Structure 1
Amino acid sequence: MVKSLLFISLITLPCSAGTPAADIPEPTPPWLSFSLESRLRYEMRNEQGLDNSHALTLRARPGLQIGRDTGFSAFIQSEHTLALIDDYQVGTPQSARFDPYVPGNTVIGDPENNELNQLYLQYHSDSLLLRAGRQRLILDNASMIGNVGWRQNEQTLDAALVSYTSGPLTVQYAYANRVNRIFGNDATGAVQALEGDVHLLNAAWKIGKHSVHGYIYLMDFSEQQFARASNNTYGAFTDLNFDHGSYHLEVAAQNESGQQPDYTALYGHVNFSKKSGDYTFVTGVEYLEQDFVTPLATVHAFNGFADVFINDRLGLTGGPAQWNGLTDVYAGISTQAPYDIKLSATAHAFFDDELDDFYGWEIDAVAVKQIAENTKLIAKFAQFFANDDTAFANDVSQFSLQLDFTY
């Protein structure tokens, strides 16, 4: 009866005389906009010598923008991560500080956390972007500078950014004095944040379907425990797109910075992709000479989803490198399956930087289903088969299933 009365009142409301205009909700002002980035994920990780880990985590990032997309505006975003299944450990020298903490389990780097994720002021016009404050910064393909978007708590910078576009040319410069890492407020010191001086200069020139890019990244961190993360990197790459396929050709050189001893190291990445019918094929080689580090990269997107080499590539081991560099030879295939499911699989073979030592090989697979405009389901699997005669002697299996929603 109550439901019937409620329904009648709702359908007759527009016909009611004398309803004050103030009773009608006003639309949200155009200068005020809300956003939400949420993710529910189950993740399982198995590694030889450790107990299996299981995590079911829920992450939400509510945000508020004051101002329009052009002109002056302000943005604030918080970040909240909750462990619904907490049979894992975060895996840092401070693991016991985090919740959850299950000693002897494999590492899943998603601690429970509540923090300020982004807070900045900006000015944006057709050609100029000025931004100051805590912010997400992703440059190029995130192999050098990224937000570690795979983990629930993302990496941000306390920085000032200038980005200028004129025709085919885009130039960006950022200065940061703090890198907010993925471990949140329960961490301390350099596990929570890397402080120092970070200068990031990036330029891109579009030439028809092709582009040429250059970058200079100078990092001097004050934390002596992670001195290996300090570096000066100078690089360039080109993306070439032809009817027969696309090429990515990149080279970079790196030397010491801050408290680092003298060193020089090279980086290279060659990639070719080709679409044939319903399939896209890709093959490539990524090379990191010993001592080359990428401490601000989204490393999960490179060198296999099992993340076997992540600490050495980041340079955040707090001690000598485990590897003698890395040569990642990979090949993959992707296609659109029935029910609009995107499928991809990639095989990796990992060697040292002189091709003398074989670290192991890995198979990765991903399935993505766009459920609605703002909602998608992602399943991932990775299996690393180790060579027992190297520092990376443990097999690793990893599976995840996640639901992403954005508003």
Structure 2
Amino acid sequence: MEKQILIPSLAVLAALTCTSPAFAQSANEPQTITPYADIRYRLELVDQDGLPENATASTLRVRAGLKTREWNGFSALVEGEAIARVGPRHYNDTVNGLTSYPVVADPSDVLLNQAWLRYKPVKEVEAVAGRQAVNFDNQRWIGSVGWRQNDQTLDAARVTVKPVKGVALDYGYAWRVNRVFGPDSAQGIWRDDDIHMVRASIEAKPAGTVTAYGYFLDLPDAPLSSSKTIGVRLAGEQKLSGKAKLLYAMEYANQRDLGSNPRNFSLDYLLVEPGISAGAVTVKAGWERLEGNGVSALQTPLATLHAFNGWADKFLSTPANGLRDLYADVAVKFPAVGPIKGANARLQYHDFNSTRGGLNYGSEWGAMLAVPIDKRLAATLKFARYKADDSATDTTKFWFSLDLKL
């Protein structure tokens, strides 16, 4: 009850703070401290075969923070958030014990989301230390899981160097993972981690951007996810006739056991994703392969997993026999209608199979419509339908959300 009362209070406080004259920026003087806030309401409905109840999750997240202006190369950010249920308690939030309902991993909480200090002595060098959201490339390996109400953040120190135009070198060390489940969950925080993140990218014109990376995860709280992954990715585009463009992404990685992992494995990751963009329409096809050997499978525990292998989230953990995802994705941008500009829709289809044993896991359809109502407010409708064969159970999910930025 206390968290439900606190959420509206924080919403009012965030709105008042962002419009307060004390923080108003004069015409001749830049703001020393910039306040910001965003509020997200979401309704998530889940119908999952094998469970006696359907889930109805009505939640509200208020996030507010302060960011300083750069001074002698230093700047800082502090950001808190509160998440609360604003409807019936008809879902398993992973900590409330309601296991007769499907999981909607948005438990109520009030917490520190980010708090970091940045040092940028010159434009080519930047260092950030503290609790932070980290997103690399397409977030397949390292991401902040922005889809859920609570971000995934890392307590980490990172350095980025850009020695010449088109080249970037990154190194990061993280000792704690703050997961989307929150601190009340037994798996909400991974402590005493030994995580090294190494990444180098170069704009290799005309081919595209080539990125080489190494992610070394020793996770004592999740030993079966401890691994070292080394890979390379190419992403680019080529102009065709008129407004048409050829899009492409290709990636290969090898993952092996590391540190506290009791298993011994060497597994491959492959991605081939061609596409065509023509005006307002973008069409992509993809073949993604996460190898499994029947006991272990290639895992991506720090990824923004909702963005991959279907929105129904049936493959957040790769099955022991591996996963092959053959998919198609169509995105359409709509012309402006009055004050509504930037509305877009997506339709996708996935066919899931194993990489070992010839299993047909199932298939999934997904659809999404995003409508910016104005510069600060946006609405989203989203749907996913997973049809099971050899993995999991039939599942239908529906989302409606409103996002307000102050």
Please classify the TM superposition score into its range, dividing by the shorter chain length: 0.7 to 0.9
Bigger mean CA offset, 104-113 vs 82-91: 82-91
The Cα offsets for residues 352-397 of structure 1, whole Å up to 9 and x where unpaired, read as: 014711100000001011111232111110000000xx2x241010
Residue 77, structure 1, aligned to residue 83, structure 2:
no
Provide the secondary structure at the position in 2 that maps to 1:78.
Answer: strand
The 3-state SS of whatever aligns with 2:193 is: strand
Identity %: 33
2:225 paired with 1:229 = yes
Kept after mapping to 2: 8 A contact 1:32/1:68: no
1:145 corresponds to which residue?
Answer: 142
Structure 2 counterpart of 1:121, from 100, 117, 120: 117
Q: Is the 8 A contact 1:113 1:184 kept in 2?
A: yes
Q: Distance in 2 between matches of 1:140 and 1:195?
A: 26
Cα distance in 1 for partners of 2:60, 2:150 equals 11
User: 5+ unaligned residues in a row in structure 1: which ranges?
Assistant: 1-23, 314-321
Q: 4+ residue runs of structure 1 moved beyond 4 angstroms? A: none
Distance across 1 between alignment mates of 2:233 and 2:125 = 24
Alpha-carbon separation, structure 1, partners of 2:257 and 2:155: 23
Cα distance change of structure 1 residues 67 and 151 upon mapping to structure 2, 3 Å threshold: same
Alignment of 1:85-124 (within 5 A): 85=87, 86-91=89-94, 95=95, 98=96, 101-124=97-120
**Alpha carbons 2:321, 2:357 under 8 Å: kept:** no
Deviations 1:118-150 (A, max 9, x none): 111111242111111111100000000001111
Secondary structure class of the residue paired with 2:81? strand
Cα distance in 2, alignment partners of residues 117 and 363 from structure 1:
33
How far apart are 1:194 and its partner, in Å? 4.2
Do the aligned partners of residues 25 and 182 (structure 1) sit closer, same or farther apart at CA in structure 2, a change above 3 Å counting?
Answer: closer
Letter in 2 for 1:161: R
The 2-side partners of 1:137 and 1:274 are apart by: 29
Structure 2 unmatched ranges of 5 or more: 1-20, 241-245
Residue 173 (structure 1) aligned to one of 171, 174, 192: 171
TM-score in terms of structure 2 length: 0.85
Determine the C-alpha separation between the residues in 1 that align with 2:357 and 2:379.
38
Counterpart in the other structure of 1:359:
361
Rg comparison, structure with higher value:
1
TM-score (norm 1): 0.85
Is the 2:247–2:275 contact (alpha carbons within 8 Å) kept by the matching residues of 1?
yes
CA apart distance, 1:195: 3.1
SS state of the match for residue 195, structure 2? strand
For residues 133 and 117 of structure 2, the distance between their equivalents in structure 1, rounded to whole angstroms, comes to 13
Q: 1:131-142 residue pairs with structure 2 within 5 A?
A: 131-142=128-139
Give the 3 Å change call, closer, same or farther, for CA 89–238 of structure 1 in structure 2.
same
Aligned partner of residue 228 in structure 1, secondary structure = helix
What is the alpha-carbon root mean square deviation over aligned residues?
1.8
Match of 2:214 among 190, 213, 216: 216
